[in-house]
Amino acid sequence: MAELKSAYELAMERLRKKDADEGVVEHKLTDAQKAAIAEARSIHDARVAERQILHRQKVLTTFDPAERETIDEQYRRDLDRFASDRDAKIRAIRESR
């Protein structure tokens, strides 16, 4: 009797078949690339944690709603920039061979 597959496994099989039909080649990451990606993620997490602490300190000392909105917007922009930097580094690592 055949083993039942989850929806996830079936979807992954379809995606692999589609990639193979389109000529997409899967490249395994080297240990160095895995380490570099882990380092990029670690740096991102540290930057986010540091920024979160600074944001909380500013929020606790701010009573003006307009100034609070400015602080929150700057915080969101910083988080977006950090994520963008991380993603660009990971993309560059994955593309290097």
Q: What angle do CA 8, 10, 13 make, to 5 degrees?
A: 110
In terms of pTM, does the model score above 0.75? no
Give the pLDDT score at 24. 75
Neighbours of 86 (CB within 10 A): 19
Give the span between the Cα atoms of 74 and 48, in whole angstroms. 13
Query: Would you kindly state where each structural domain of the chain is located, as residue ranges?
Result: 29-95
Q: Please, are residues 77 and 55 in contact by the beta-carbon 8 Å criterion?
A: no
At residue 31, the pLDDT reads 94
Taking the chain (97 residues) in consecutive chunks of 10 residues, what is each chunk's mean pLDDT?
85 89 83 96 98 97 96 98 97 88
Tell me how far apart the alpha carbons of residues 82 and 52 are, in angstroms, rounded to a whole number.
12
